[in-house]
Amino acid sequence: MELTWYGHSAFKIKAGGASILIDPFLTGNPSWNKGWQEVAEGVTHVLLTHGHNDHVGDAAEIANATGAMLVANPELCGFMASKGVKNVNPGNHGGTLDCNGFTVTFVNALHSSAYTLENGENVYLGNPAGLVLHFENEPTLYHMGDTEIFGDMALINELHQPEIGLVPIGDRFTMGGAVAALACRRFFNFRTVVPCHYATFGLLDQSAETFDAGMADSDVAVLIPMIGEPVQV
């Protein structure tokens, strides 16, 4: 499995014959800010955890340009369809979707979800989710979305046994590093964790040091990729 981090919560995953963008906040992302066109080349799927602008990002533009399947909750899929996206695949909490080469299961995330239009109006876009990706011959990956710690993470681990965790650690709007490390250690048996949703803006924690320290005496590998540089996981 090849993973590329573009800063914030935006990732590209290449596995199972698919090229998957998750939460493609690229344009306006100060950690990336190189636009979406090059990143979108060859993309087959766009997955969204929730409707905040810094996660929806360039999803509509990418899906329209590539024909990629857009996977999200029904409200988000409807919003994307209003922007011209034709290949939508809606699901919701507890549901599993066949995405041609892998499956996506929607699980809980404790957060909020609305898109702010240019006129300042907020559009409700359903409940936030985490996404669990199962592949036939690749490790199972869990993008937590934006979330606080919650006890039913233990059930997510029991049901799905994810090996790769993409974990928000920036505090204020999600778990901070110490709590995120507690979640990983207490509820999961990850092989590798990748911290995200930090350092993008001044309101967020500016490094992964607290999370890294919290994972220090565990058997889990903490991977902090260089932004835009593919790594094997």
**Residue 132, token pair as written in the block:** 């669990």
pTM: 0.98
For position 117, which CATH number holds?
3.60.15.10
Mean pLDDT within 79-100: 98
User: β-strand 141-143 against 129-135: which pairing, if any?
Assistant: antiparallel
**What radius of gyration do the chain's Cα atoms show?**
16
- Residues 6-50: tens digit of each pLDDT: 999 999 999 999 999 999 999 999 999 899 999 999 999 999 999
The structural domain count of the chain equals: 1
Cβ-contact 167, 138 below 8 angstroms = no
Mean pLDDT within 177-189: 98
Q: Is residue 52 part of a domain?
A: yes
**Residue 10, token pair as written in the block:** 């935006």
CB contact set of 211 (below 8 Å; sequence gap of 6+)? 167, 169, 177, 178, 180, 181, 195, 222
**Residue 144, token pair as written in the block:** 């937590």
- Residues 205-229: tens digit of each pLDDT: 999 999 999 999 999 999 999 999 9
Cβ-contact 195, 225 below 8 angstroms = no
Dist CA 133 CA 139 (whole Å)? 9
- Residues 49-89: tens digit of each pLDDT: 999 999 999 999 999 999 999 999 999 999 999 999 999 99
User: β-strand 69-72 against 45-47: which pairing, if any?
Assistant: parallel
Mean pLDDT within 153-163: 98
Mean pLDDT of the chain: 98
What does the pLDDT read at residue 200? 97
What does the pLDDT read at residue 33? 84
Domain that holds residue 19: 2-226
Q: Is residue 78 part of a domain?
A: yes
Angle between helices 59-66 and 74-82 (to 10 degrees): 70
Q: Is residue 232 part of a domain?
A: no
What confidence tier does 163 reach under pLDDT thresholds 50, 70, 90? very high
Cβ-contact 39, 13 below 8 angstroms = no
Dist CA 24 CA 39 (whole Å)? 9
Q: Is residue 172 part of a domain?
A: yes
Residue 136 pLDDT > 90? yes
φ, ψ of residue 21 to 5 degrees: the values are: -100, 130
What does the pLDDT read at residue 49? 99
CA angle in degrees (0–180, nearest 5) for 230-22-75: 175
What does the pLDDT read at residue 54? 98
What does the pLDDT read at residue 157? 98
Mean pLDDT within 104-110: 98
**Residue 193, token pair as written in the block:** 């964790």
3-class secondary structure, 192: strand
Cβ-contact 2, 14 below 8 angstroms = yes
